[in-house]
């Protein structure tokens, strides 16, 4: 599937595996593995291949369910990293920031009531922002 397509594109453009590898900043063995469907390039490399050979990503990916599954898995891992390493710390910082501001505005001391009010406000804003992101797609 993908292996045959990449090999045909490479040969059509009179490139060796080494030349293609150099163009894509990967090893020659990586290109060899792609051509034998042993492994697949990452999404950034796929985009570069698509641009270099002037073919669509649809052409490269179509009919290769294994590759599409691998790319979906990569994207899922990336989203999880984003969620745990970026969103979670931002969530915590913003939560305590809102709590601090509300306590200053209303001259409250940190207590369970102010924490619950802050959590509810922050959760509502967070959900509203997530809803807006999904409506764009």
Predicted TM-score (pTM) of the model is 0.50
Digit-coded pLDDT (tens) for 48-73: 999 999 998 888 877 667 777 777 77
134 has a pLDDT exceeding 60: no
135 has a pLDDT exceeding 50: no
DSSP labels, 76-113: HHHHHHHIIIIIHHHHHHHHHHHHHHHHHHTTPPS-HH
The pLDDT-based confidence of 122 (bands split at 50, 70, 90) is confident
119 has a pLDDT exceeding 80: no
């Amino acid at each position: 599937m993908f292996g045959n397509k990449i090999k045909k594109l490479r040969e059509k453009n009179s490139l060796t595996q080494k030349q293609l590898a150099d163009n894509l900043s990967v090893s020659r063995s990586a290109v060899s593995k792609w051509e034998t469907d042993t492994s697949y390039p990452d999404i950034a490399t796929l985009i570069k291949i698509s641009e270099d050979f002037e073919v669509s990503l649809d052409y490269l990916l179509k009919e290769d369910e294994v590759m599409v599954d691998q790319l979906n898995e990569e994207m899922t891992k990336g989203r999880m990293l984003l969620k745990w390493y970026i969103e979670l710390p931002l969530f915590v910082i913003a939560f305590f920031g809102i709590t601090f501001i509300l306590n200053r505005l209303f001259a409250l001391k940190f207590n369970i009531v102010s924490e619950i009010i802050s959590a509810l406000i922050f959760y509502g804003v967070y959900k509203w922002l997530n809803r807006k992101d999904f409506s764009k797609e």
